[in-house]
Structure 1
């Protein structure tokens, strides 16, 4: 049995972003008071907080019996024989789609640590006719996508700059 969790790099960047966002909200509340603008800014933290919680909760367990996917909004266990197809999409981020015989779908993105190893494990256990024809090429050519992390780091820098400016002025 192998466990795959969210990459610590993804978790750390979203944790720092969430923390800085709360510091930013605190500085806005102190400087300008709590008003409608504050509540609008506070609502904007919800997607960031949900992403952090999803990263912390995510777990993929591969066993001889099947694959268990735990996520914030959808969790389940799928036996290897119950998988109808496996899909793959690689654009800005990389996604793995697992569709079961009863038409349930599961999505795993490459924020999972050791994603390439996970792809290899799935390739070993799922019937070849349920995988894309070029599965081995997909696995061999897979490269982690860091675009999401880069955007979060940029957001951290911007919010950090705004906080420093508001504290100094």
Structure 2
């Protein structure tokens, strides 16, 4: 989960703020979702009988859907990985009926993040670079310091307003 109350005054409110997860003592079922073994936090050993799902396993997608679909009241999900991974899994957990306070998000691996192109509506993975070219509409994008929790993505806007369609109108 992001920490909304420890925001530095020089950071925008919409930027996600991550914290280290801590075991939820009231939880009756601990579900840990990892992008890779490298994303694992030492706190997993503190959990009582955690169910650990690792994206590196071949049956990850099917198991994730099954586990999230059968999550009951008292379940708590801990998600660890890069930003693109944690927000994708967060969206799946929310779609399965879990509430935000039943989900902890830890950005534990440097890697990909999702960027939403405001020109064509595509959400695409990108590295940390502030500039990229949209793979669908070919518009040069500047990645803004604005994050949509609903989309799980940063906002990408045209770097050259004189050529907002990269020379070809959609």
TM range (shorter): under 0.3
Say which structure, 1 or 2, has more relative contact order (CA 8 Å, 6+ apart).
1
- State the TM-score, normalized to the length of structure 1: 0.24
The structure number with the bigger radius of gyration is: 1
Higher strand share: 2
